[in-house]
Structure formats: structure tokens, C-alpha cells
Chains A and B, each alone.
Chain A
Amino acid sequence: NAGVTQTPKFRILKIGQSMTLQCAQDMNHNYMYWYRQDPGMGLKLIYYSVGAGITDKGEVPNGYNVSRSTTEDFPLRLELAAPSQTSVYFCASSYRTLYNEQFFGPGTRLTVL
């Protein structure tokens, strides 16, 4: 199993550009998540999905969009990049459980200039 994979690893965007961060998992997990991590701020939940076709906002959804057309994939879209979106983005997944041990991808480091 590859686990949770993310692409790209690094990206530099100009203000106003758009991009999609890719996330895939091969563990047949129902739940998938997108977090951003800023220095000293822990992990903030952007969006999550409890299954294909179902998504919901997390703590910091503004400026982002997601879709979940398959169990495996959960892309995160930035439409109009802003410097405030400079961060490290982690995708995670978990089984359908009340206790929710999440498995994380390697992260994407995004810089918006």
C-alpha cells in the first residue's frame, strides 16, 4: 500500500493564480481530510469528506474548494491564491470509526508570492 499520497511536494504561486492539490489513498478509507499547518499553529481543518459525494467545511474553508467523486481521491482547489494561503498542506484519511486514527500524507509546501 502506498498509503496517502500527495502531489506536488512543493509549489510557488503568484497572487491570483489557481491550482489543485492532489490527494489519493489506497486504504479504502471513507473519511478524508485537508489540513493546513502554519508555524506554531498546529493543524487547522480546511475541509473533510465522509464518503464519495459528501464534503463539509472545517475550521478554515475560505478560499478553498473540494470535491470527492471517488473514495480514493480528494483534491483541494485554490481559486485565487493569496499570500495568506502560504502554508504546508496535509491530506489525511481514516476508517469510518468514532475514534478516528488518521493517516497523513507527506504534505505539500505552498508559497504564494
Chain B
Amino acid sequence: EDKVVQSPLSLVVHEGDTVTLNCSYEVTNFRSLLWYKQEKKAPTFLFMLTSSGIEKKSGRLSSILDKKELFSILNITATQTGDSAIYLCAGVGEYGNKLVFGAGTILRVKS
């Protein structure tokens, strides 16, 4: 059975801190790994990773995939209160028609 495990489940940091969120996966015929940010409503797309070692970057957020060790990390530097959210990762396998989500990491940034 495919599974995605995220850690930590939750963390609290202060503004300006750097955080690293972890995502490990076991997905049959792995195709890609996606990161989403979920604030009060629907998840919004952050990154999609398909190749090992290539860093995807958007402002203070960056992510990297290790296909050999089957994990990905999401880094957030100089955190702001607006980064407070649930961060979800999801693996895509088989024929690309389903995502398997992890339980998410709840991030709270205190001012």
C-alpha cells in the first residue's frame, strides 16, 4: 500500500527562524512529489518535484527531492506569521491519476 509520512506533525517557531519539513514516501511507480500549503481553506500548490537533487525555489521557500532515499524536504527561511499553515506533501504513482497525501505538518509562526 502506498504511503506518505510527514514529520514533524506540528511545530512552533518565531518569526525569522528557518524551518525544515520532512516528507518520506513509499509510492509504487513513483512519478512526482507535490507540496501544498493549506491555510483556512483549500490546499494551494507550492512545488512539484520529479527529479532527484534539483532544488525548486520560490522566494523564501525551497524544496528538494531524493529519489534514492525516498524523501523530500521543504525549507522555509526567515519565517513570517503568514507562513502559518498546514503543509501537505503528496506522492504520485502508478499512472499519475492519484495522489497519496501525508497527514501534514502544522506550522505556527509566532511574532
- Chain B contributes a number of interface residues (CB within 8 A of A) equal to 26
Q: Is B68 an interface residue (CB 8 A)?
A: no
Q: A40-B9, A98-B92, A99-B31 are in contact. Are A104 and B98 (CB under 8 A)?
A: no
Interchain Cβ contacts within 8 Å, total number = 66
Q: Which of A91-113 contact B (CB under 8 A)?
A: 97-107
Select one of B32, B42, B95 contacting A107, CB under 8 A.
Answer: B42
B103 touches A42 (CB 8 A): yes
A98 touches B96 (CB 8 A): yes
Q: Is B85 an interface residue (CB 8 A)?
A: no
A43 touches B32 (CB 8 A): no
Q: Which residues of B contact A (CB under 8 A)?
A: 4, 6, 9, 31-32, 34, 41-45, 48, 50, 88, 90, 92, 95-104
